[in-house]
Structure 1
């Protein structure tokens, strides 16, 4: 395989992954918008619409491939899915405790 072909393949995979993360950010924004508003302060988190705005903005930044901001957007999307959302689901379902 020619080195230029490998580089083109890598760029295609990278663009696909960025697009996948951007779609995950939009899905997260929809999920945050559908979550009860009182769950966010109960979990000691920013407000509902702050998270919706952060996720939409992060998805847009990731989709446009801004050099440094896209990585920050990926972190915001990851924090929502791996930290905020599980905690909110526990609070809503009543599975909270020490």
Structure 2
């Protein structure tokens, strides 16, 4: 019983800790992606996305909820919009 209450009470903390790890992984993946894929996808540059994702990880790790939500949005945009398009471009699937 107390375990469930503890999880429910600390859910935002756990949620942002997981998303911090996801943002760090995204920054590493963005850093390992070819620069020309970002230009071909008409996206911001490679190092801009690495900086945005690293900044998002720092913002989510601070514990300030407003900054953490901004970092969550940036991380979500990378994972659900930018990365699928870059993968399609790199794999030669230009249907995106």
TM-score of the pair, normalised by structure 2: 0.90
Q: Partners in 2 of 1:11 and 1:84 — Cα distance?
A: 33
Q: 1:19 aligns with which of 17, 20, 34?
A: 17
User: Aligned pairs, how many?
Assistant: 95
Q: Bigger radius of gyration, 1 or 2?
A: 1
Q: How does 1:53-68 map to 2 (within 5 A)?
A: 53-68=51-66
Tell me the residue number matched to 1:32: 30
Q: How does 1:62-81 map to 2 (within 5 A)?
A: 62-81=60-79
**What is the Cα deviation at residue 9 of structure 1?**
3.4
Structure 1 unaligned regions, length at least 5: none
What SS is found at the alignment partner of 2:35? coil
**What is the Cα deviation at residue 61 of structure 1?**
0.3
Q: What do the CA deviations read for 1:29-79 (whole angstroms, capped 9, x no partner)?
A: 000000001000100000000000000000110111222111011000000
